[in-house]
Structure 1
Amino acid sequence: MASQHAVLIIFLFFLVCSCQSLDDRLTSLRPLYPADKLISDDGGMFALGFFNLTTNSTPSLYLGIWYNNIPERTYVWVANRDSPITTPSAKLALTNTSDLVLSDSEGRIVWATDNNVSGISTGGSGVLRSTGSFELELQLPNGTGVVVWKSLDHPTDTILPTFRLWTNYKAHTAMRVVAWKGPRDPSAGDFSLSGDPTSWGLQIIIWRGTRRTWRSGVWNGAGASAITRFIYSQIVDDGEVIYAAYNAAGGPTTHWKLDYTGNVRLRVWNVESSSWTVLFEGPGNGGCLHYGACGPFGYCDATGREGGVQECKCLDGFEPEDGFFRDFSRGCRRKQALACGGAGAGAGGGRSHYFLTLPGMKVPDKFLYVRNRSFEECAAECDRNCSCTAYAYANLSTIVTMSASSDMSRCLLWMGELLDTGKDGDLGENLYLRLAAGSPGNNKKKIGMAMEIVLPTTACLLMLTCIYLATICKSRGTRRNKEAHERSVHDFWDQNLELSCISFEDLTSATNGFHEANMLGKGGFGKVYKVGILKDGKEVAVKRLTNGSEQGKEQLRNEVVLIASLQHKNLVRLLGCCLHEDEKLLIYEYLPNKSLDKFLFGMFYHTF
């Protein structure tokens, strides 16, 4: 017994540590054994070989595919997930019938492909592609190769780039991705993911057996909610089968995995942290994203999901069935019952109902899909049917590829209860809900319509009022500043001085904006300009003190008083002044014969 255990330990050690690479191809002359593995032809992103997950003395060999260049062993496909090999050895071989066959050391077949093309090929091989797909490629008599089987068409729990999730809505069948039973048990578990055959493949469902546990929401022209926003780059409907191709933009180390707990995760390998980063997870372990968590006519508000806030609420016009919304499964009831009367006629000939627009909604489950309808026709279809409680409309031309003759409209009608509704914000669409004409929701709608008129009108009036008040305040401020300036000038100058106060505007105009062409000279305290003719006909010179001059108001006043009190034939006479904000200007009589220095020194130069 001890010797048998020793042989087993040696075998397992040999299996884990002594694998030999057979590049990317398996042929009829070169089968695959536990000590071998195939490596994809893209630099070794993926590997195919045997692995064992048990820790006891009895081996359980599986044939699978995993990421070869990632340190954390992550399996993406298992061939014999429900039939582990318990013998010491195994073999994967390409038979004479052009099938891949997995057998144990005693010759028992535990897994095989069935390509239904035996007898027409001249040979073949099993190839591990760079996409992570293991494919059976046969050579036809004409020399061309054709792929007759691929692992991507038979997934286990992982969706890789280029994978196609198809639904045959006419045959009511769909491809399923099935989770592992446990973290170290790859056999088929309780949870599976697929398109919904009963809804024409327009949404994705996570199942627990035959019971729905999560629903993605219905595809719409704006981009479908939750899972479908990330997973699909192309949706194709050929009139019988609709399939979605997984978007490979995230690279080969990005995938969707259905966990054994029933959560689907979008994961990408983070090189820096050397671990998988989860970009999306649903439905999660808490909150109200699970299927039907808020009951009929209730909805899960997931707009605050990033902040961890999810709560059940009632649709507009409804209230909690239990009065407090403590029992979510009971859902909500109408605040006012619908009264069906023909085409919506109510008492007094008025409408007995109306449709309230609910934006950004994950539309309910269990709908009737009506094709070849315009939006108006879709609305009329629900309006004239008393049993229709809501409708939604979308154009699928932006996301679905169909034949040229196919209609791209998508009219959805709901009869009776609305179940598994949610609010997804920018991922949702408009849901048109039927309510009684006198229901609170109608009042809310009327109030909303009134607010749409009142608010813009009020805003315009407030804006005009603010402009008017600002104009008045500015005008008053200007007048007050002028009066204050006049008082300042009046208080500043000595009342006994016979000086004229000339406005700054007149001086600016007379000097052409104090242009350099009018400048007579400059000194340490400022510049002197020749002023043409003022209003009184005088020709004067203006001394404009610089703003940076150290000559303050008091010094200026003293200078003015001194000059004004002096009367001499060799001194220019001070005629007036101007104070304007920071401007200080003195007005003198104009001397046409230039300054005294030029007269004296000019005479001196001519003498010698």
Structure 2
Amino acid sequence: MISTSGFFWKAKAGRIFELGFFSDDFSGNYYIGIWFKADKNKVVWVGNREIPISDSSGILQIRSGNLVFMDRRQVPWLLNSENVATAINTTATLLDSGNFVLKEEYTGTVLWQSFDNPTDTYLPGMKLGWSALNTNQPSFHLFVSWVSPQSPTRGLFTLTMDRINFTKIQVWRGDKVRMDIGFWDGHNLRFIFDNSTSGNDYNFSHHSTADEAYFNFSGNKNYDIVWFVMASTGKLDQYFMVDGKISSVSHALCENSTGRCLTSLPSMCEDGESFSQVKGSLPSMFNIGAINTGPSGCETLCESNCSCTAFASLQNDKECQLYYGSKQDLLKTIVKGPGIIYIRGTAATNGGKKWKLGLALTVSLATLLVLIPFSLCCYLRWRKGHKEDSVTEGIINLDQESLFQRATNVSPVQQNAVRGASNIELGRQKDQDLPLFSISTIQTATNYFAESNKLGEGGFGPVYKGKLLVEGQEIAVKRLSKISRQGSGEFKNEVSVICKLQHRNLVRLLGCCIEAEESILIYEYMPNKSLDFFIFDSTKRLLLDWGKRVNIVEGIAQGLLYLHKYSRLRIIHRDLKSSNILLDSDMNPKISDFGMARIFGDNDTRGKTNRVVGTFGYMSPEYAMDGLFSEKSDVFSFGVIVLEIITGKKNIAFFEADHSLNLLGKAWTLWKEGNGMELMDSTLRASCSSSEVMRYIQMGLLCVQERSIDRPNMSDVVSLLSNQSFALPFPKEPAFLCQQISTDADSSSSRQRRYSQNDLTISQVHGR
């Protein structure tokens, strides 16, 4: 048995390798790994890179013939899940080659081996390519880089054999760019970086039959061992060991004919990915993270995270300091000293004076740009007199960029935008046109924003119920608060996005008010408030029987499918949650709150942001941790909502007795055990069948899987929901299985920042 307390297995002969648990200092997770006895930092294999252990209580043991690992929750995971043992009597051995082998004790049959499940390290004897081609389960061996030198999760670069031309070796980048880096000439493998001597360090072989096609290699007698690593930087690193001492050379993957290098990723950061040097030390008063790594690892960590503004290595070059604050603040507060700070982009070395001069000019120019339109606007208002007291004051055309200027200050747009109320009919505006209301109309409708008319408050600000005097129509008035965590950007975004959307499962925007210091959105009124108002209340949830809950799930799915596929604009919502699902008088769901939504082009599949916005418990892992969002981010949020609807419990507030599992973790555990019905809200027992409930639980779990590629898209979800005869695939473990955050907003925010590489804006859930 191996545990994280310090015990590990060693190869019986030369004891070159060790097997045990190691920790990722960056995230605190624990992994099963194999490393060199001479250097424990040289990890050559990771057994659970997709299922890390969150604490130091990990155990690896043989149970019922299988290699099983678990943590303090005692949930067993099979290391050899690809080939489960049928015999009870098995043995596991770590060989001098670095191969960890599980065998039947009496027959010696190999049931599983780590060489068939490589990570980033290509050891002598390993295969690169196909095996068992003529069987029902052919396997393909490739090598995927770590995401960073400190984190063994899957990175951007993959070393692989060409799946069509078996004589080529390629490296693929995460954006599907690939490069041929080696080819078999009939006698030897030729790398693009080979020189007169490097090819003598290893001996490659090429095997191609009807059953298999692969490369493998061996070293020469000058070295104890030679091996390759697909590095997180996109380079192919070659290592040598002589008398227990390890040396290496790093090969850049560049085409000599074109000069194109695979590591030349397009910059995803606003300030680029290069760093300038400034003498001094990082200030201690800002957000600085210290990590044990060398200078090169420090640069790699900061370079790969756009939120990292600067880095520095301490004098011993073993500890890395990462700075995540404002570049301007940093330049003003650098501590004088002999050290060197590396600042992303171009640093203003004489920061103070130039920065202040630039600020003064900017403020002056901004003031002029505001005062001139404001004066003109006031003059126009004076001429119009009391004409603005009509119910609908005009139309804003969303194709004009001037609308967005008007969201934060008074703009000349009003000269052209304000037309007579007779030009439109409320609720039947022209395509891309939005009615503009006066502040006096909104004040009258809400009784001057009376507290008795207040429906609730979110990240944007308070929401009031109102009634238009002329039309008699009830409305919901969303007023941007001066102290809102959101701002003009979210306001502009919501106007530009939702005005162009028309679907029965999306809330309808009736107009807006941009006057004086007010930024207000006017929506159709939803008499039944929001979904969370019902499902998380022990009394009100009685009003939602199984039929109504199924209707709500299907309505949300239809609304999301429209956003992702059928609307004129492809929309990623990014803040889908129960409180953003409004219910009309018939309990039909309508998706609301598009302030954080993003518009995608037809060819876009994924976006990245340095400012993560959203709500704990609903954010997908790739978005919360890396700022990556896509349609699958919304699918994850949808899955959480489905499980909340079935259980009547909040994911972010659900606690096991020992605080170990959240709602997703509990659902996963019970579903695996065949006890999924224990999740169901007890008020539903008389209105549903167990098969339907289990199907919806399984659908929810499919949507919250760890990897976005494993989740269905909304087309698949809608199809599976409408065709009950279709069998659902089996889900994999959900993300964020353990409860790692507090329900307290402040502690949640600070805790989450420890795990995310991005700036976070977190929405809290309030009553509507």
Q: TM-score, normalised by structure 1?
A: 0.38
Q: Which has the larger Rg?
A: 1
Structure number with higher strand proportion: 1
